[in-house]
Amino acid sequence: MVRDKKKPLYMISIVAEMLGVHPQTLRMYEREGLIRPKRQNRQRLYSEEDIERLHLILELTRGLGVNKAGVDIILRMRERMIALQREIDEMLKLLEDDVRKEFQQRIRRILNK
């Protein structure tokens, strides 16, 4: 069974404990637009994808000393790179399909002679 990494599961107190931060830190990251937890009955719920993003944010700020503006830029660039990689993968698949079809047509022509 494949787990949905986007499914909101964890309350803010659990995530704060998991990451070793104060819940106010998570609220601040949300205010600054670095993270967008889902809301259910006014309660913030974080997905595994959100937690991975928070791990990255904490590594950048704590481990590398990047300020929040820098984190925002890095996260945006990362999202663009992921989107571009998806596009490249899609184009390569289409190209492979075209090459495969062309190859099959050539084989058929050779065999039909």
pLDDT of 94-104, one tens digit each? 999 999 999 99
Encoded amino acid at 73, one letter: I
The pLDDT of residue 67 is 95
Greater pLDDT, 45 or 3? 45
CA distances from 78 to 17, 61, 104, 113 (A): 26, 16, 39, 52
CATH architecture of 1-66: Orthogonal Bundle (1.10)
Parse the chain into domains and list their residue ranges. Answer: 1-66, 79-113
Q: Is the pLDDT of residue 63 over 90?
A: yes
SS3 (DSSP) at 4: coil
Are 5 and 48 contacting, i.e. CB atoms less than 8 angstroms apart? yes
SS3 (DSSP) at 46: strand
